[in-house]
């Protein structure tokens, strides 16, 4: 287990307003520990696949709310093997500074995790985005179950944060209402990007968002960028509107300004434009569960 320090100066003002709902760590010192763990995923045939997961825990000897951070899926299959939870290290450290324990898993078929890739959506003519999302959600839910048993986790305050396909999987998981889950932050959630500005079965994707909405009862925050070339602003609105029409949980949509050359990577490339809104959502969502 390795110890680190993170000093998020840009959060000093915001953290001064947090009065014990999360952990008010001073911007000059936010120590935490990290470890890589293999989290078991039990398959239908009884076999077990191990999910490579980076875990970050604030120091302090108490129970912390948990954030499970889920990665996207590259357009090209050969890129999956090279993926690592370390890509989300900055996000993980930022969440630690807000007082969260953090789990960043690689799902089956990505990086060093075991098991065959299970997130295919079938043909472009008849894409099955529901089953694809549910496959991702199964891995996410296995991580939630494992992490809720840890002594440093508040089992009743779990939030999901997902990017792209990981956002779609987080949405699918939220629709299942797993124990302890209280909210989800979705960065450009969706599937089916074949090439820049080209999505397979966009109408089916929006319809599936509506299906997920029917059984989602918790708060969700949807964040897209104006220059997302995986999921256009129009499609982003269609997905959100389809979900919003059916859910009975609070849902919020934010369209952020252009980010770099492709706003789909907003989470990584332009954190300054979403830090405030996401921090406020997390504080508000976790606070209501105490």
Which residues, 6+ apart, have CB-to-CB distance to 73 below 8 Å? 80, 110, 119, 164, 165, 166, 191
Over residues 147-169, mean pLDDT:
98
Q: Residue 175: how many CB atoms within 10 A of its CB?
A: 25
pLDDT tens track for 95-113: 999 999 999 999 999 999 9
List the one residue out of 204, 207, 266 whose CA is nearest residue 233: 266
Q: Which pairing describes strands 2-5 and 193-195: parallel, antiparallel, or unpaired?
A: unpaired
Q: What percent of the chain has pLDDT over 70?
A: 89
Q: Does residue 164 carry a pLDDT above 90?
A: yes
Instruction: Return the bridge partners of 154, or none.
Output: none
Query: How much is the pLDDT for 228?
Result: 98
With H, G, I as helix, E, B as strand and everything else as coil, classify residue 222.
strand
Q: pLDDT-based confidence at 17, cuts 50/70/90?
A: very low
Q: Does residue 267 carry a pLDDT above 50?
A: yes
Number of domains into which the chain is organized? 1
Over residues 155-176, mean pLDDT:
98
- Using CA atoms, how far apart are residues 70 and 193, in angstroms rounded to an integer? 18
Parent domain of 18:
2-287
Q: Which residue has the higher pLDDT, 25 or 137?
A: 137
pLDDT tens track for 41-86: 999 889 999 999 999 999 988 999 999 999 999 999 999 999 999 9
Q: Residue 5: how many CB atoms within 10 A of its CB?
A: 11
| pTM (2 d.p.) | 0.90
Q: Does residue 205 carry a pLDDT above 90?
A: yes
Query: How much is the pLDDT for 288?
Result: 65
What CATH number does the domain containing 123 carry? Answer: 3.40.50.1820
Query: How much is the pLDDT for 60?
Result: 87
Go through 66-105 and write b for each residue having 16 or more CB atoms within 10 A of its CB, e for each that does not. bbbbbbbbeeeeeebeebebebbbebbbbbbbbbbbbbbb
- Using CA atoms, how far apart are residues 199 and 202, in angstroms rounded to an integer? 6
Q: Does residue 217 carry a pLDDT above 70?
A: yes
What is the Rg, in whole angstroms, of the alpha carbon atoms belonging to the chain? 18
Q: pLDDT-based confidence at 287, cuts 50/70/90?
A: confident
- Using CA atoms, how far apart are residues 55 and 150, in angstroms rounded to an integer? 11
The mean pLDDT value of the chain amounts to: 90
Query: How much is the pLDDT for 281?
Result: 98
Query: How much is the pLDDT for 289?
Result: 59
């Amino acid at each position: 287990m390795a110890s680190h320090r993170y000093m998020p100066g840009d959060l000093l003002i915001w953290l001064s307003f947090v009065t014990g709902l999360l952990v008010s760590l001073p911007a000059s010192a936010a120590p935490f520990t990290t470890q890589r763990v293999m989290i078991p995923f039990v398959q239908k045939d009884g076999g077990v696949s191990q999910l490579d997961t980076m875990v970050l825990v604030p120091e302090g000897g108490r129970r912390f709310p948990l954030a499970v951070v889920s990665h996207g899926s590259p357009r090209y299959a050969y890129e999956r093997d090279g993926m690592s939870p370390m890509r989300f290290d900055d996000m993980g450290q930022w969440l630690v500074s807000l007082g969260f324990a953090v789990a960043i898993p690689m799902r089956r078929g990505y990086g060093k995790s075991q098991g065959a890739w299970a997130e295919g959506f079938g043909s472009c003519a008849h894409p099955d985005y529901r089953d694809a999302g549910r496959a991702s959600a199964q891995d996410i839910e296995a991580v939630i179950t494992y992490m809720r048993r840890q002594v440093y986790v508040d089992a009743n305050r779990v939030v999901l944060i997902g990017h792209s396909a990981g956002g779609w999987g987080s949405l699918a998981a939220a629709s299942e209402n797993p124990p302890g889950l209280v909210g989800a932050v979705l960065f450009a959630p969706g599937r089916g990007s074949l090439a820049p500005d080209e999505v397979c079965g966009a109408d089916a994707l929006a319809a599936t968002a509506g299906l997920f909405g029917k059984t989602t009862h918790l708060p969700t925050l949807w964040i897209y960028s104006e220059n997302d070339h995986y999921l256009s602003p129009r499609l982003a609105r269609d997905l959100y509107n389809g979900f919003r029409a059916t859910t009975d949980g609070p849902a919020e949509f934010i369209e952020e300004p252009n980010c770099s050359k492709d706003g789909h990577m907003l989470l990584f490339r332009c954190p300054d434009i979403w830090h405030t809104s996401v921090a406020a959502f997390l504080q508000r969502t976790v606070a209501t569960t105490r």
